[in-house]
Amino acid sequence: MCRCCYPPSCPTSMAGAGGGGNDVQWCFSQVKGAIDDDVAEADIISTVEFNHSGELLATGDKGGRVVIFQQETENKSQPQCRSEYNVYSTFQSHEPEFDYLKSLEIEEKINKIRWLPQKNAAQFLLSTNDKTIKLWKISERDKRPEGYNLKEEDGRYRDAATITTLRVPVFRPMDLMVEASPRRVFVNGHTYHINSISVNSDNETYLSADDLRINLWHLEITDRSFNVVDIKPANMEELTEVITATEFHPHQCNTFVYSSSKGTIRLCDMRASALCDKHSKLFEEPEDPSNRSFFSEIISSISDVKFSHNGRYMMTRDYLSVKIWDLNMENRPVETYQVHEYLRSKLCSLYENDCIFDKFECCWNGNDSVVMTGSYNNFFRMLDRSQRRDVTLEASRESCKPRQVLKPRRVCAGGKRKKDEISVDSLDFNKKILHTAWHPQENIIAVATTNNLYIFQEKMN
């Protein structure tokens, strides 16, 4: 592989969600959010998640708000366009709080959103900040009762003396109203900052993880949770690693994994014991000694872990790479992809500007053939597992014409810069894509830049 430019020459096409061998070209669909370069901190997107059908797309931001977009039903007259996502509901999920006992401010930033599988007409999602998890019910109201006997239409009570007739109130259609209401609030479960939540396949329980502990909750019970993992040492001076992410297996309700700041992943089986401090499997790759540096600890910290949809693999993201692990092989990943290897020589500068601590997420496509993750300069990477190809694309306002095909981007790490390549030193490290999501069935992706949400879709012929 050519070392002076990333990625190596490759076509933009890759296997589509429908199966291997289909070539996919990505084109712009929509962008949400303000155009201003001056970004308000509250508007910074902090999480993105499709629901299980892909019809709804939720985003959370630093201001504690959740915005849900809904895919419109397809426009039959324009088959070239896939249906668009429009705002469905917006609500304030979390507010800033103050812990007076500890003199700590609790940020309202939404760290994670996870959808529950749909059981009835309403939709449910879990949203969490650093300390509190909330279960929200999102329901539609498209009719309202009219014709009360004792009340006027505006709600004022009628004078009883004026009532001379009796009528039965009836439901009449009204403009669709989407209501979000908090159904459960799960508080006081965590001493440290919650970094992830994961809904179980049993649809009754979920996990929440902070730096040192993982709790198991029942969706109906808010006043207690069960601690399943606790890595807090008796003496905090001996602390060497923290928990960075956790996820339930997509099918096995007894199995979950959690990743650590040391680059390890532990798989736990809740059938083996109630307390899962002792793992069932430990996934760890020995460090390459030639890559050892001051920053080895930091860049090996895993920022995200995701099971594949089929449950056979899991993917981890650390600062420079994405690794695919077979659940049956613990000693090394089956695949490793370099996301932006050209940054390895810049780690000191990235430490200085704090970018080395950025926590990138990763996601699978519907059939687990392609994975995606973000990078800097509003670049994001699509890594095709089946065809062993990768491509770098950019979420940019300059490529915002409807159905405009995204051109692959290339970064030149050294040597002579070719036309259309961008040099490493020209990358904008303030423009980072930390959060991405892939529609569970179709080739539609949601990519969050600092305060904008880009939706790209497969080019339709």
Partner 1 sequence: MDMAKRIMALSISKLYSLRTQRGGLSLHRSLLLSMTMRAARDIYHAAQLLRDAEEEQVVPCAPDAAIEEPMEISKDSPQTLTPKEVAMKPQEPKETLEDDKENRCASERHSRKRCCKTAVEPDFLPLKKAKMDTDEEKQHLQGEVLRTNNGNSCRQAETLTAFPTNRAIVAC
* List of residues contacting partner 1 (CB under 8 A): 102-107, 109, 130, 191-193, 195, 211-212, 232, 235-237, 239-242, 244, 261, 294-295, 297-298, 301, 348, 351-352, 354, 357
Beta carbon of residue 319, minimum distance to partner 1 (angstroms, whole number): 11
Q: Is 428 exposed, middle or buried (0-12, 13-18, 19+ CB in 10 A)?
A: exposed
CA dihedral 119, 143, 72, 392 (to 10 degrees): -60
Complex with partner 1: residue 241 or 285, whichever CB lies closer: 241
CA distances from 296 to 178, 291, 331, 345, 388 (A): 48, 8, 19, 12, 27
DSSP for 108-140 reads ----EEEEPPP-SSSEEEEEE-SS-EEEEEEEE
Beta carbon of residue 437, minimum distance to partner 1 (angstroms, whole number): 23
CA distances from 28 to 285, 394, 404, 405 (A): 38, 10, 5, 6
Beta carbon of residue 186, minimum distance to partner 1 (angstroms, whole number): 19
Beta carbon of residue 232, minimum distance to partner 1 (angstroms, whole number): 8
By C-alpha distance, which of 263, 244, 200 is closest to 111? Answer: 244
Complex with partner 1: residue 118 or 450, whichever CB lies closer: 450
d(CA 377, CA 375): 7
d(CA 7, CA 243): 32
Complex with partner 1: residue 130 or 384, whichever CB lies closer: 130
Beta carbon of residue 210, minimum distance to partner 1 (angstroms, whole number): 8
Beta carbon of residue 105, minimum distance to partner 1 (angstroms, whole number): 6
Complex with partner 1: residue 200 or 261, whichever CB lies closer: 261
Complex with partner 1: residue 153 or 237, whichever CB lies closer: 237
Complex with partner 1: residue 39 or 253, whichever CB lies closer: 39
Is cis: bond before 7, omega within 30 of 0? yes
C-alpha distance across the termini of the chain, in Å: 33
Beta carbon of residue 104, minimum distance to partner 1 (angstroms, whole number): 4
CA distances from 428 to 10, 66, 184, 414, 447 (A): 24, 27, 41, 17, 17
Beta carbon of residue 242, minimum distance to partner 1 (angstroms, whole number): 5
Complex with partner 1: residue 140 or 297, whichever CB lies closer: 297
d(CA 308, CA 314): 6
DSSP secondary structure code for residue 327 in this structure = T
Beta carbon of residue 349, minimum distance to partner 1 (angstroms, whole number): 11
d(CA 403, CA 201): 37
DSSP for 272-298 reads T-SS-SS-SEEE-----GGG--TTHHH
Complex with partner 1: residue 116 or 214, whichever CB lies closer: 214
d(CA 29, CA 37): 21
d(CA 317, CA 136): 29
Complex with partner 1: residue 198 or 301, whichever CB lies closer: 301
Complex with partner 1: residue 170 or 236, whichever CB lies closer: 236
d(CA 375, CA 394): 10
CA distances from 334 to 70, 313, 453 (A): 37, 9, 32
Beta carbon of residue 167, minimum distance to partner 1 (angstroms, whole number): 55
